[in-house]
Amino acid sequence: MSQRRSALTLIVGLLAALSVPASAKDPVVESIWTAVPLTVDGVAQEWENATPIFDKASGAQYALKNDGKDLYIIMVLRGDIARSTIEYTGMKIFLAAGGAKTKDAGVLFLQKKLTPDELIASLEKKGEVLTEERKAEIRKQKSYDVFLEEAIVPKKGGAAPAAGSKPEPALFRSIQKGQVAVYEFKVPLGRIGQPGEIQPGGAIKVGFEWGGMTKEIMKSIMAGRASSGAMARQSAGSSESGFRDESGGGEGGGGDFAAFTHDKKYSKHAFWIDVKLAAPAK
């Protein structure tokens, strides 16, 4: 009886252990060495020798290269679900020297469309002195696609950057053709960990985050529903005719936005990888 009870206890213990899902490890990605700095232009021509890695959850395909100074990343997103709302949120790339995930350091890459006057104001804010002739030249074009990068500020309690230090500039470009968008990024290795800590051949943790519902999108949806509600009321006649808009849309209609938050094209995407930086061949 005692042996039978012991065997039963062992079986129950094994079943309990098997029922607990093992924690999934982040994929290990090997970067490819490049002896020549890449041209960051959103064109995949310099990536022909790289095998794309597929992130099933987000639908993203990506690859990494590095030289002795910079980390290069290319990412391809196909369709509305994969791209989500990246035009509003931009792409956050988190970088850590240790093995732990942390969002205290990284870069926000953002693409914006600016009017000529907005571009002039942005350039002057950065300290650039523009002549009247240069301003007139800028105003000849209706709008400009501007690619911005912002350092991610550490959360409360995180390690703040050294006083007076200015991070080396990161860079990105993107090109979209139909349902396919290509994003190319460059991040200086000096922005990862402490100065000089990360060298070719070392290991880093990299996280990606983009998309999701934003306040700007919600305002756009509300404005669209208000406009469609107003048009519906006009086509249905005045309130005196006995007809009313029962759709719940329109200004003050209190529309149900739960459907939008569950729409996959508004999904927020995020994943992490462990990167083995390449080193030059000896």
Q: How many CA atoms lie within 13 A of 109 on its CB side?
A: 22
Q: Which of 153, 189, 160 is nearest to 31 (CA)?
A: 189
CB 189 within 8 A of CB 70: yes
Number of domains in the chain: 2
Q: How far is CA 248 from the centre of its chain?
A: 34
Q: Categorize the per-residue pLDDT at 196 as very low, low, confident or very high, splitting at 50, 70 and 90.
A: confident
**Tokens coding 276:** 């083995």
Q: Which of 175, 199, 174, 179 is nearest to 189 (CA)?
A: 199
Q: Tell me, yes or no, whether 194 and 136 share the same domain.
A: yes
pLDDT, residue 237, reads 52
Q: Tell me, yes or no, whether 126 and 166 share the same domain.
A: yes
Q: Tell me, yes or no, whether 173 and 229 share the same domain.
A: no
Residue 4 lies in a domain: no
Residue 10 lies in a domain: no
Residue 55 lies in a domain: yes
Q: Tell me, yes or no, whether 33 and 169 share the same domain.
A: yes
Q: Categorize the per-residue pLDDT at 126 as very low, low, confident or very high, splitting at 50, 70 and 90.
A: confident
Q: Tell me, yes or no, whether 253 and 155 share the same domain.
A: no
pLDDT, residue 220, reads 72
Q: Tell me, yes or no, whether 27 and 161 share the same domain.
A: yes
Query: Could you tell me the residue range of the domain that residue 235 belongs to?
Result: 214-266
CB 25 within 8 A of CB 269: no
Q: Tell me, yes or no, whether 132 and 166 share the same domain.
A: yes
The top-scoring range by mean pLDDT among 1-15, 57-71, 96-110 is: 57-71
pLDDT, residue 162, reads 52
Q: Tell me, yes or no, whether 168 and 240 share the same domain.
A: no
Q: What is the pLDDT of residues 140-191, one digit of tens each?
A: 999 999 999 999 987 765 555 554 566 788 999 999 999 999 999 999 999 9
Residue 96 lies in a domain: yes
Q: Tell me, yes or no, whether 127 and 261 share the same domain.
A: no
Coil/strand/helix, residue 6: helix
Residue 47 lies in a domain: yes
pLDDT, residue 157, reads 54
Q: Which residues of 184-198 are buried (b: 16+ CB within 10 A; e: fewer)?
A: bbbbbbebbbeeeeb
CB 205 within 8 A of CB 96: yes
Q: Which of 149, 183, 148, 173 is nearest to 62 (CA)?
A: 183
Please report, for residues 13, 16, 68, 148, the alpha-carbon distance to residue 24 in angstroms, rounded to integers and kept in the order given.
Answer: 22, 18, 31, 34
Q: Tell me, yes or no, whether 84 and 196 share the same domain.
A: yes
Residue 8 lies in a domain: no
> Beta-carbon neighbour count of residue 267 at 10 Å?
20
CATH number of the domain enclosing 198? 2.60.40
CB 132 within 8 A of CB 244: no
Q: Collect all residues with Cβ–Cβ distance below 8 Å to 251 and sequence separation of at least 6.
A: 226, 229, 230
